[in-house]
Structure 1
Amino acid sequence: MVWNVLFGERSTTKIAAIFDTEQGAATAAAAIHSSAGLQAAQIRLVKPYEKDYAKKIEPETQGIVRTALRAHLVLGAAGAVVGFFGWGLLYLAGIIAVTATPLGSLGVFIFFGAIAGMLLGGLVTARPDHQLVIQRVQTATQEGKWTLLIHPRTPRQCDQVMAALSGVEAEVTRSV
């Protein structure tokens, strides 16, 4: 997929399944491990009232840094290109503010296009879709429930995990 060039993480989707018992979570983990072909590192268990579970939710800290760099660079460059083409359209349309000062207005269009692209890169880096999963895990942990965190690396693995979780009694939350 074209959007994957923006991400430096191997697993961009997060799936959380909330269980009332450790047995339910362990059974689901075993089923997911065998049916979806995930590695053990892709499946994490968060215990009730556990304090240091953040690393289990976001285990790829280096990948997040790579995502930040890639997203800002790629989208900043794309924004500059869009700014250039926007300037070109206005120049060809004969807009006086653009034609009177072509180089100055070109610089402004490229600059603001790059800034808009980098702002979008910041949004991609922040991954607001992950916040839903993070908040649900935090609530479940505080309520004394067990959480199974799954980090599928491919769309196929994601589909297999969701299929495996459809047959168990769990509240499932996932990111994009």
Structure 2
Amino acid sequence: MTGPVFFTEELSNSKVAAIYPSAELARRQAERLRQAMSLSARQVQVLVPGERHPGRKLEPESHNIFRTMIWAHVRLGVIGAIAGLMVYVALRMADIPAVDQSPWLSWLMLVMYGGIFGLMLGGLVTLRPDHDRYVMRVQEALGEGDSAVVVHATSAWQKARAKEFLEAGGAETASTL
């Protein structure tokens, strides 16, 4: 694993799931994928119908969600405030009358709104809306009696290669961003 990504504090931000009609086929494909890409057993897991806690294999880093929440908000809030400050400086340099007439209020409002916008982006990163389709598709498949191979990629390249490999084997895939 390469280490946490700047905003999420997770080791694996990208995930790919492939749906198979039988547990045996899923296990074989998982093993082939592990060997073909030199992935660890923690990165490639098989989920079967009746699994007690499928969420642990789908999102194994859920314990990091609190850290992700804090750091995404702090980092993006600061970046937003800095962006607001840069907008203020640009408007001052452009001699915008509204900014020139009330510089302190303009500075305060632009920095504050930039920070608030950054905090809202931090909330979006924390929610991880890109994971919904992936999680729901796997849970739906498990409910229908199918099995799934889940890959926790540590890079975009690894995710793309795993997805290609699984689709080449005839599987339907669902992935995160």
In the superposition, the TM-score normalised over structure 2's length comes to 0.89
Contact 1:57/1:149 (<8 A) preserved: yes
Unaligned runs of 5+ in 1: none
Contact 2:5/2:11 (<8 A) preserved: no
Please give the per-residue CA displacement for 1:85-131, whole angstroms capped at 9, x wherever unaligned: 21222223333332222112211111110010111111122111111
- SS of the counterpart of 1:138? helix
Unaligned runs of 5+ in 2: none
Q: Which residue of the partner structure matches residue 60 of structure 1?
A: 61
Contact 2:76/2:119 (<8 A) preserved: yes
For residues 140 and 64 of structure 1, the distance between their equivalents in structure 2, rounded to whole angstroms, comes to 25
Contact 1:37/1:157 (<8 A) preserved: no
Deviation of 1:137 (Å): 0.9
Q: Which residue of the partner structure matches residue 20 of structure 2?
A: 19
Q: Which residue of the partner structure matches residue 132 of structure 1?
A: 133
Number of aligned residues: 174
Identity in percent: 33
Aligned Cα root-mean-square deviation (Å)? 1.9
Q: Which residue of the partner structure matches residue 48 of structure 2?
A: 47
Alignment of structure 1 residues 20-169 onto 2, 5 Å: 20-169=21-170
In the superposition, the TM-score normalised over structure 1's length comes to 0.89
Deviation of 1:134 (Å): 0.7
Deviation of 1:147 (Å): 1.2
- SS of the counterpart of 2:12? coil
Deviation of 1:25 (Å): 0.2
Contact 2:44/2:149 (<8 A) preserved: yes
Please give the per-residue CA displacement for 1:62-99, whole angstroms capped at 9, x wherever unaligned: 43333222221221111111111212222233333322
- SS of the counterpart of 2:173? strand
